[in-house]
């Protein structure tokens, strides 16, 4: 029986694995980038480093098979990402040597932390990333992870929460609408959803 529990440092390899295996708009991104740590270094590990108390995993008794990571304050997180996190890891990723589709764009996007400042960021200051391996999807665990985060953010007095999904990730978009988010903005490739707390 799978359960939700706080993240532990020993979960890191599982989180990296989950991030890669769900990182292509919900599908498997294995082999998409020249280094498998690129997606986790942008979308999972910095959140855990920055505020490990906003990271939870789904544990099937043997390993983590899903996770949710978040920040309560996107403006502060974006500053820390630009000043501390990305300079620490960017040396692993050289856009000039990258020839894989999408890799250069992801590195350039990560280098521009202003990308996190959606237009309603002050009304929805927290943001999250959630990924579950296919084996654990559709069992209500995504909803429970979101509820776990919302309970904690509410205790902290955070006013709102947002996330951005790939516009082609129709499953995730349906999920966010079902768990109470509404669309805030949309550009060609992505949709941002928000929920006031």
Ligand X SMILES: CC(C)(COP(=O)(O)OP(=O)(O)OC[C@H]1O[C@@H](n2cnc3c(N)ncnc32)[C@H](O)[C@@H]1OP(=O)(O)O)[C@@H](O)C(=O)NCCC(=O)NCCS
The β-bridge relationship of strands 160-166 and 126-132 is parallel
Report the distance separating Cα 101 and Cα 104, nearest Å: 7
**Residue from 48, 57, 132, 161 binding ligand X (CB under 6 A):** 132
Question: In the bound complex, what is the minimum distance in angstroms from residue 58's beta carbon to ligand X?
Answer: 8
108 burial (CB, 10 Å; 0-12 / 13-18 / 19+) is: exposed
**Residue from 6, 87, 105, 138 binding ligand X (CB under 6 A):** 138
**Closer residue to ligand X (CB): 140 or 157:** 140
Question: In the bound complex, what is the minimum distance in angstroms from residue 23's beta carbon to ligand X?
Answer: 8
Q: Judged by CB under 6 A, does residue 22 bind ligand X?
A: yes
R_g (Cα) of the chain, nearest Å: 16
CA distances from 89 to 24, 32, 36, 38 (A): 21, 19, 13, 9
Question: In the bound complex, what is the minimum distance in angstroms from residue 24's beta carbon to ligand X?
Answer: 9
Report the distance separating Cα 195 and Cα 176, nearest Å: 10
CA distances from 114 to 22, 36, 111 (A): 25, 24, 9
**Residue from 171, 182, 189, 196 binding ligand X (CB under 6 A):** 171
87 burial (CB, 10 Å; 0-12 / 13-18 / 19+) is: exposed
**Closer residue to ligand X (CB): 26 or 160:** 26
**Closer residue to ligand X (CB): 90 or 180:** 180
Q: Judged by CB under 6 A, does residue 80 bind ligand X?
A: no
- What is the pattern of x (binds ligand X, CB under 6 A) and - over residues 143-162? x-------------------
Q: Judged by CB under 6 A, does residue 165 bind ligand X?
A: yes
**Closer residue to ligand X (CB): 90 or 147:** 147
Residues of this chain that interact with ligand X (CB under 6 A) are 22, 26, 130-132, 137-143, 165, 169, 171-172, 174-175, 178-179
């Amino acid at each position: 029986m799978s359960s939700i529990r706080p993240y532990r440092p020993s979960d890191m390899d599982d989180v990296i694995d989950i991030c890669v295996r769900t990182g292509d708009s919900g599908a498997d991104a294995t082999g998409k980038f020249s280094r498998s740590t690129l997606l986790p270094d942008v979308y999972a590990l910095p959140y855990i480093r920055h505020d490990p108390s906003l990271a939870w995993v789904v544990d099937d008794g043997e390993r983590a098979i899903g996770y949710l990571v978040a920040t309560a304050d996107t403006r502060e997180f974006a500053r820390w990402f630009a000043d501390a996190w990305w300079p620490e890891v960017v040396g692993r990723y050289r856009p000039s040597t990258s020839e894989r589709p999408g890799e250069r764009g992801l590195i350039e996007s990560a280098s521009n932390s202003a990308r996190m400042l959606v237009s309603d960021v002050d009304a929805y200051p927290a943001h999250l990333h959630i990924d579950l391996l296919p084996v654990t999807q559709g069992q209500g665990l995504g909803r429970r992870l979101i509820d776990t985060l919302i309970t904690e953010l509410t205790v902290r007095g955070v006013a709102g929460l947002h996330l951005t999904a790939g516009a082609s990730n129709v499953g995730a978009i349906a999920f966010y609408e079902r768990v109470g988010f509404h669309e805030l903005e949309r550009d060609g490739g992505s949709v941002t959803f928000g929920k006031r707390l």
